[in-house]
């Protein structure tokens, strides 16, 4: 509430606050209240801020962390990703156009999203009687889709479903699911309610991984303990302890 109050005062003073999501939200809300007399309450704004953080920040940071875990586990793929990044960017700053050419990094991120999805499950509700395959589902039923289980199902992904194998995405998502469709791969949910931030999250993750691999190689610390903790998101319960080396020097 303190952050929001401070920002509202800045808007009232005429300061430009359009440089982040909260500033844009408050300015839009102020305009709506002035024009229509109705807008979001303080509680609504607080809930939106929670959504920015949980759905926007925590999920992406988890993706970056689990990617570093997988690349610590498989040094060969870490080397492949670094070589691609150096080929595209060298030691220059990361730029948007170059991100489009990071095919190996994209394969790695998709495999990490499969193994460690940002959301472990998603819930949907029927607002009318709905035919789903051979089932007729009444109106008002809540359906939980266990994304984690779908992503680890050997019938969908093969007997190596629990292994980190980015090459399964060599021919994209449709190739990885072996003709079973994109419904098998749900890191950002799917359909008309698909996560609105998925493209932005992928850009953030590619940028972060590219910057890290440009500068460092990394491996597990002896104190690392594998601890995926499935809740609403999938953080590592005990953190991720890694050893980073800059340009082949000592840790």
Binding residue numbers for heme: 195
Q: Is 63 left (phi over 0), alpha (psi -120 to 50) or beta?
A: alpha
Distance CA 11, CA 153 (A): 51
Distance, CA of 43 to CA of 56 (rounded, Å): 19
Strand stretches in the chain, DSSP E: 122-125, 130-132, 135-137, 142-145, 216-220, 242-246
How does strand 135-137 pair with strand 130-132?
A: antiparallel
Binding-site members are: 195
Distance (Å, whole) CA 88 – CA 206: 13
Q: What is the DSSP letter of 250?
A: -
- Nearest 5°: phi and psi at 219? -150, 170
Question: Looking at the DSSP assignment, which residues form a beta bridge with residue 122?
Answer: 145
């Amino acid at each position: 509430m303190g952050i929001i109050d401070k920002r509202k005062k800045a808007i009232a003073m005429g300061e430009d606050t359009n440089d982040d999501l909260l500033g844009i939200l408050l300015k839009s809300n102020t305009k709506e209240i002035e024009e229509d007399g109705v807008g979001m309450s303080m509680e609504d704004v607080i809930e939106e801020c929670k959504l920015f953080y949980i759905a926007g920040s925590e999920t992406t940071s988890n993706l970056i962390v689990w990617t570093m875990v997988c690349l610590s586990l498989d040094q060969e793929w870490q080397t492949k990703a670094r070589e691609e990044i150096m080929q595209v960017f060298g030691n220059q700053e990361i730029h948007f156009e170059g991100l489009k050419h990071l095919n190996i990094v994209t394969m790695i991120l998709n495999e990490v999203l499969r193994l460690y999805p940002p959301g472990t499950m998603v819930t949907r509700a029927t607002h009318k009687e709905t035919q789903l395959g051979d089932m007729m589902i009444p109106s008002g039923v809540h359906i939980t889709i266990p994304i984690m289980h779908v992503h680890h199902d050997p019938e969908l992904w093969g007997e190596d479903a629990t292994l980190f194998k980015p090459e399964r995405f060599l021919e994209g998502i449709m190739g990885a699911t072996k003709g079973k469709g994109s419904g098998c791969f749900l890191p950002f949910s799917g359909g008309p309610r698909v996560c609105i931030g998925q493209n932005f999250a992928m850009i953030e993750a590619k940028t972060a991984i590219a910057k890290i691999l440009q500068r460092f190689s990394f491996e597990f610390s002896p104190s690392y303990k594998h601890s995926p903790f499935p809740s609403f998101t999938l953080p590592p319960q005990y953190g991720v302890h890694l050893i980073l080396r800059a340009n082949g020097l000592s840790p």
